[in-house]
Chains A and B, each alone.
Chain A
């Protein structure tokens, strides 16, 4: 129900609802950016029930990968050192 899909903003009309054309991986749809006044063409937004609920922050988008490095989890396919119990 709370499904939210990331979409790229292609064009925004500055009307009451900030009617916009967005692309879901190529599929274009009209949605409303009323609640994301900061979102402009080229940004990604999370769309739910026809409305953008959040602008995707690109600087935060890598955190899920960085966390593994920060915590010292070895990268995939790394050969464990002999004697390691990890």
Chain B
């Protein structure tokens, strides 16, 4: 496919590997923020091409993984109402709540549907006007414009039976929280390319300056990742932090102004709990009061509970994995009591969770051993 296959060229990847070997003089630890990047790195073995001085830390950029247990439990409560048709991206269905997951609600006979887009949920609202359609709006800045458009369209079409359970998270506050931690080993960042197609780079300049870390806004294909690493390493070696846009074919410095305008109209910023990390100030979106009619939390009432223990396994270290402090293979439960079929932590559920990627491509259980 155009704009995909050419960025997987092995000879060019080897040129990048050679460039990195010849330019690195000291050990450096870089974090790739986005779970899609983690998946690519593990799938294509990008880390195995790097010189031993360069360590990649896997970041928290998997919305499925960081959705708090209290939100999953609330989603499960809604999905188990007979008047509700609950719509969600497929990944969310197997994320463990405090007692069960959405898939078990579906298995119990309630109407839980997997959708590709919020617009599919809107179409269901149009067809089923006697029922309440709730869409589980999970995602980063990349996905928020699609959800905002669905709400605006629901209003335009007068679909009063459509609402959203909004669990949106924002990348820069999480990156700042990780960099502020005394345990942080992050010396450079590969920022998430698709988040930046929407938001641009303005939020990253002050982070780079404050923490003295180079940031490369990076794409998702092997050559994108290798160039992002090369740009970061060059700045690290020269002691010159700053922001580069590696993924320039899709990212403009100002972002997508049309999408940003819609986000402004639809959402306001709030504190948000991240599963495995804790509450991060100003790191979430909720619907503005003028859109309250489409907010499932307001429509159905009740409140979110925040159970202290997450997951089914006390051995699960997914919180540390999400922060780049541990690798999946450091976990005792990995591949034994925790598998994609029976996940103990959310990082084993989503294909973008580091544990799921390691299980699929790296573990002795892998069917696609490389």
Contacts and interface: CB of A to CB of B under 8 A. Distances in A.
A15 B62 CA distance: 33
Given A35-B262, A48-B142, A53-B194, A3 B36 contact: yes
A60 B259 CA distance: 22
Nearest to B157: A16
Contacts of A83: none
Nearest to B39: A3
Contacts of B119: 32, 50
Interface in A40-56: 44, 46, 48-51, 53-54, 56
Interface in B315-365: 350, 352
B195 to A, nearest CB: 6
B271 interface: no
A16 B152 CA distance: 11
B142 A53 contact: yes
Interface string A19-43: 0000011000000101111000000
Contacts of B36: 1-3
- B118, B193, B194 — which one has the most chain A CB atoms within 10 A of its CB? B194
A8 B120 CA distance: 21
Given A35-B258, A56-B3, A2 B14 contact: no
Contacts of A17: 149, 153
B170 interface: no
B236 to A, nearest CB: 15
A57 B249 contact: yes
B66 to A, nearest CB: 10
B258 A37 contact: yes
Nearest to B37: A2
Nearest to A48: B142
Interface in B118-167: 118-120, 138-140, 142-143, 145-146, 149, 153, 156
Nearest to B195: A2
Interface stretch (B45-53, B222-230, B300-308): B222-230
Contacts, number: 143
B367 interface: no
A63 B249 CA distance: 8
B352 A1 contact: yes
- A16, A24, A34 — which one has the most chain B CB atoms within 10 A of its CB? A34
B116 to A, nearest CB: 6
B34 interface: yes
B22 interface: yes
B26 interface: no
A54 B251 contact: yes
Interface string A51-82: 10110111011011101100101111100000
Given A35-B258, A73-B15, A48 B248 contact: no
Q: Is the interface of B mostly helix, strand, loop or mixed?
A: helix
A64 B19 contact: no
Contacts of A56: 3, 249-250
Interface in B257-275: 258-259, 262
A2 B145 contact: no
Contacts of A64: 7, 12, 223-224, 227, 246
A49 B116 contact: yes
B1 A68 contact: no
Contacts of B63: 1-2
List the 8 closest A-B pairs by CB distance, nearest first. Answer: A50-B117, A76-B11, A25-B1, A6-B3, A60-B248, A54-B197, A2-B142, A49-B146
16 contacts: A4-B194, A4-B220, A4-B250, A6-B3, A17-B149, A34-B258, A35-B145, A48-B143, A53-B142, A53-B198, A54-B251, A58-B249, A64-B227, A65-B223, A76-B14, A86-B22
Interface of B: 1-4, 7, 11-12, 14-16, 18-19, 22, 34-36, 61-64, 89, 91, 116-120, 138-140, 142-143, 145-146, 149, 153, 156, 192-195, 197-198, 220, 223-224, 227, 230, 246, 248-252, 256, 258-259, 262, 350, 352
Given A2-B142, A68-B12, A86-B18, 13 more contacts: A1-B35, A4-B194, A6-B4, A8-B2, A25-B1, A25-B4, A34-B258, A35-B259, A48-B146, A50-B146, A53-B198, A61-B249, A71-B19
